[in-house]
A and B are shown apart, each in its own frame.
Chain A
Amino acid sequence: MKATVTVMLKSGVLDPQGEAVKSALGALGFSGVSGVRQGKVIELDLAQGTTEADVTAMCEKLLANTVIESYRVEMQA
């Protein structure tokens, strides 16, 4: 089984990389991009029986820094 963890900076935390991407898109002539947030996606290959609670514990301990980041877990069969 697999899980996908999406880690993003918390809303309200300035994302300088997202801001740079936004201005680069503007410079390329793509209008109407009012915000860009950049995060990361972590794919986990897991032993059968691993629970969402296990993956949440992984996020809390290592995959996300909850001082600045939020995370979302999606479990797949």
Chain B
Amino acid sequence: MKAAVLVFPGSNCDRDLAVAFRAAGFETEMIWHKDATLPKGVDIVGVPGGFSYGDYLRCGAIAAQSPIMRAVAGHAAAGGYVLGICNGFQVLCETRLLPGALMRNAGLKFVCRQQKLRVETQNSRFTAGYAQGTEIAIPIAHHDGNYMADAATLAQLAAEDRIAFRYVGNPNGATDDIAGVLSANRRVLGLMPHPERAMETAHGSSDGAVMFHSLAQALVEA
């Protein structure tokens, strides 16, 4: 089981994400954004949180054009797993690996707190370990997490059961309380909350660990 964690200039959750993958049993490598290829045999690519390229132009816009993201797009097209957290979610939207966009929080303030989420679908390797409809506590820390997509896209996401998590108490104005969405093949997940910051009780919640262990279990079985 192999994970690759991307590192952009301005990434600041890359090491936390690597620790989370390793805790779940993944052999984990850090991959610099100028690399054009992923290591052989990578099962999942983690696109970490942070402020890649200082959020210049738009959050994630410059990172989306980096050489490694072309390799990630190829990995996703071949059925590989990708997990984008916070800035990583923004990057995946900017590369169009996931639909929609993340706009400035409706309240205009950076929001940093423990957030309740509802697990909206069990039907993915990321969420299979949670009970459907269960509420979990995962930290959020973002300024641009206000999810937005056009009506047709939102209808499609709902019809295809691709909304992975919704906020319980919307912190940022996100349309339909959407906190995380899945790709059509259910192997790419982007979410604003930080599961890698909820790995053990000392973090205040270990609800995020379920996601990493569930992924690990899926890959062991595969």
- Which A residues form the contact surface with B (CB < 8 A)? 9, 13-14, 16-17, 20, 61-63, 65, 67-68
Contacts and interface: CB of A to CB of B under 8 A. Distances in A.
Nearest to A61: B65
9 contacts: A9-B103, A14-B106, A16-B103, A16-B146, A61-B65, A62-B65, A65-B61, A67-B99, A67-B150
A20 B149 CA distance: 22
Contacts of A13: 103, 148
A3 to B, nearest CB: 16
Interface residues of B, number: 20
Contact of B106 (A9, A16, A65): A16
Nearest to A9: B103
A65 to B, nearest CB: 5
A13 B103 CA distance: 10
Given A13-B148, A14-B173, A65 B104 contact: no
Interface in B47-83: 57-58, 61, 65
A61 B61 CA distance: 10
A17 B104 contact: yes
B133 interface: no
A3 B101 CA distance: 26
A68 B103 CA distance: 8
Interface in B61-120: 61, 65, 93-94, 99-101, 103-108
Given A13-B103, A16-B146, A65-B101, 17 more contacts: A13-B148, A14-B106, A16-B103, A16-B104, A16-B105, A16-B106, A16-B107, A16-B108, A17-B108, A61-B65, A62-B61, A62-B65, A63-B57, A65-B61, A67-B99, A67-B101, A68-B101
Contacts of A16: 103-108, 146, 173
List 5 tightest A-B contacts by C-beta distance, closest first: A67-B101, A68-B101, A16-B106, A16-B108, A65-B101
A65 B105 contact: no
A44 to B, nearest CB: 13
B108 A67 contact: no
A9 B57 CA distance: 13
Contacts of B93: 67
Contacts of B99: 67
Contacts of B100: 67
Nearest to A66: B101
A20 B106 contact: no
Contacts of B146: 16
